[in-house]
Structure 1
Amino acid sequence: MLKSLIIIFILHFSLSLQSQENMTLLEQQKLIIKNLSGDIELANGKTLKARSTKEERKLSREYLSEIIISIGLKPEYHSYKMPNINPLVDLLFNPFKGANIYTILPATTESDEYIVIGAHFDSKRNCPGAIDNGSGIAITFGAVSRLADLQSRRVNIILVYFDQEEEELVGSQAFAKKLKKEKLNILSVHTIDTMGWDSDGDNAIELELPTEYLKSIYVEAGKKLDIPIYTTKVNSTDHHSFRELGFNATGLTDELVNGDFAPFKDTEKDTYQTVNFDFITSSTQLLYEVIKTEIE
């Protein structure tokens, strides 16, 4: 019986991947956000109503592994245990435990250099998290899918999906420490968070605490694509974990400071139906152009 169920699941998953191959990139991105926000069932018949509990995050990791496989890359689990900043909480309960999912798109020539592209996959409790942060997952997936098609890449690309951003940036802290310990030659880090809302249709993005180098290449790409780029000092999402350890990092988001931001963030109304897919497409193109500039 168990063997039959395994065979059925494998066949179902194989057919699912084959059907995705015939989709446009935007259709794939829409499917990703639908799956992650519980708008439709996952391939295993379960539904992600949120991505907060231990079980929800486990299901999310399994799904993220599947989408990584769908573009011909190998998913890797980065399990971690981090202490709580509150010693009493750490003593009475448990330290933070989780796992990031990552993969490496290798350079086409020998290289010891890496660019990190990341987005967190967890959400607040009872929150579907379509924009926060299904949008970030879809945009990073889209950019890396396109980068994988390039004939020449002089730099390795790490795509990482962070666990527990909503709990003191724990997942990205753990991953930044891993990279630091391994002494990898990291050229830049780009984290994407909450980029599915654009009420005025200008496709503008905010670049959070960029270095001068990163600011210059984003502004140049923005001019090329007619995308306004605003810089801010927002320091409350995953790029912070990398900047703290000295990495050349920045965060991308909607216009949080300028006032054109997702109104349903961290609520049960953050659903698939609220996502602006024109903004998803333009933001994917922007990230792709920036990384392409770095790896050419």
Structure 2
Amino acid sequence: MRIEEILQRIEKKNLKKIVQAISIPRHGCYNYESLSLVAKFIEEHFKEYGYFVDFNQFYYSGREYKNIVATLKGINSSKEWILIGAHYDSAMGSPGADDNASGIAVMLEVARIIREIPIAERIKFVAFTLEEPQAFDLKFIIRSSQFVKKFKKLGHRYKALILESVGYYSDVKGSQKLPAFTRGPDVGNFLGVVGNGKSNALLELFEKVKEYVPSINLITYKAPMNGWLALETRFSDHAPFWDAGFQAVMLTDTAMFRNPYYHTSQDTPDKLNFSFMEDVTKALLVAVLISPA
């Protein structure tokens, strides 16, 4: 099947439906029951699409949490993986439509479309939990850190593509801010792909994606010093993969640097641009389809 034919299978209505369904406060501490309902929603969608679902479970502050892992042939069917991940918890007091229902929606739509294509056997989809700062100790990126440590010890190797807030878009001049020590446009109409020095191959891969998805403004950025010079470039689930020596990139609308509703009660589905999310889905699909073996 040609890439163009595969991209035509994307349904924007699916992206919108998923975002609307899970845009409820789902903070790990304050909304534990809602977070569990969203986890079940994600699990059921993966199973509906024909995936085996495994749980990477752990306890935090006396409660059980789980990463949701979906593969076509089982979590241990390979040790060489393309990992597509997104976190499903939200910040305190926020329904988290952009952060990060948008990332979950794109991940699920990619899973639905790619399941019948041979490369899908190499993909591990992971919905991470407890990415957001937790109450009292303000720790964050908790579960992806433990996931990476566990599976690295088991000999698994990853090229990780992490979706982090991919639904907010603006054509207004001045709508885009930037972290310290970085340069870029001042209009928030692009998808950022953030990698580190070890992830050059993935950044180059997304440069090629532009040829297949001309409708998206895609900007790649290599974070110097593993992101420590601009700490905001480490604020998602790609950072543990960097620290473990794996190639990883974060796909993002840049979150707090663009979206004025970030981490507030106003981060709702009506603020998102679903045509932009459709293009993000296309870009991610193409990256996987043209990824070298």
TM-score (normalizing by structure 1): 0.76
Contact 2:163 2:250 in 1 (8 A): yes
**What is the match of residue 276 of structure 2?**
279
2:248 equivalent to 1:249: yes
The residue identity in structure 1 corresponding to 2:131 is E
Q: Secondary structure at the match of 1:238?
A: coil
- Counterparts of 1:177 and 1:97, CA distance in 2: 19
How many residue pairs match? The answer is 247
State the alpha-carbon separation in 1 of the partners of residues 253 and 25 from structure 2.
24
* 1:179 alignment partner in structure 2: 151
8 A Cα contact 1:204 1:230, kept in partner: no
Q: Which amino acid aligns with 1:229?
A: I
Deviation of residue 203 (structure 1)? 5.2
Please provide the CA RMSD for this pair: 2.5
1:55-134 maps to which residues of 2 (within 5 A)?
55-81=33-59, 94=61, 97-106=64-73, 112-134=79-101
SS at match of 1:192: strand
- Aligned partner letter, 1:121: Y
What SS does the aligned partner of 1:35 have? helix
Match of 1:144 in 2: 111
Deviation per CA, 1:87-140: give whole Å up to 9, x if none.
Answer: xxxxxxx37852111111349xx9652111000000012211011000000111
- Structure possessing the higher radius of gyration over alpha carbons: 1
Residues 255 and 262, structure 2, Cα contact 8 Å, conserved in 1:
no
Judge conservation of contact 1:128–1:271 (CA < 8 Å) in 2. yes
CA gap 1:154/1:103 in 2 versus in 1, 3 angstroms: closer
Q: Which amino acid aligns with 1:250?
A: V
SS of 1:124's equivalent?
coil
Code of the aligned partner of 2:220:
Y
**Structure possessing the higher relative contact order (Cα contacts under 8 Å, 6 or more residues apart):** 2
Q: Secondary structure at the match of 2:285?
A: helix
- Asked whether the equivalents of residues 102 and 165 of structure 2 are also in contact (C-alpha less than 8 Å), the reply is yes
User: Take 2:161 and 2:26, find their aligned partners in 1: how far apart are those partners?
Assistant: 25
Question: When the two structures are superposed, what TM-score results if normalisation uses the length of structure 2?
Answer: 0.77
Find the aligned partners of 1:221 and 1:64 in 2 and give their Cα distance: 27
2:131 corresponding residue in structure 1: 165
Find runs of 4+ consecutive structure 1 residues off by over 4 angstroms: none
Determine which of 145, 148, 167 is the counterpart of 1:196. Answer: 167
Cα distance in structure 2, aligned partners of 1:98 and 1:154:
27
Structure 1 residue runs of 5 or longer lacking an equivalent are 1-22, 38-47, 83-93
1:208: how far off? 1.5
Distance between the aligned counterparts of 2:103 and 2:120, measured in 1? 25
> Is 1:212–2:200 an aligned residue pair?
yes
Q: Tell me the residue number matched to 2:26.
A: 50
2:221 to 231, 235, 247: 231
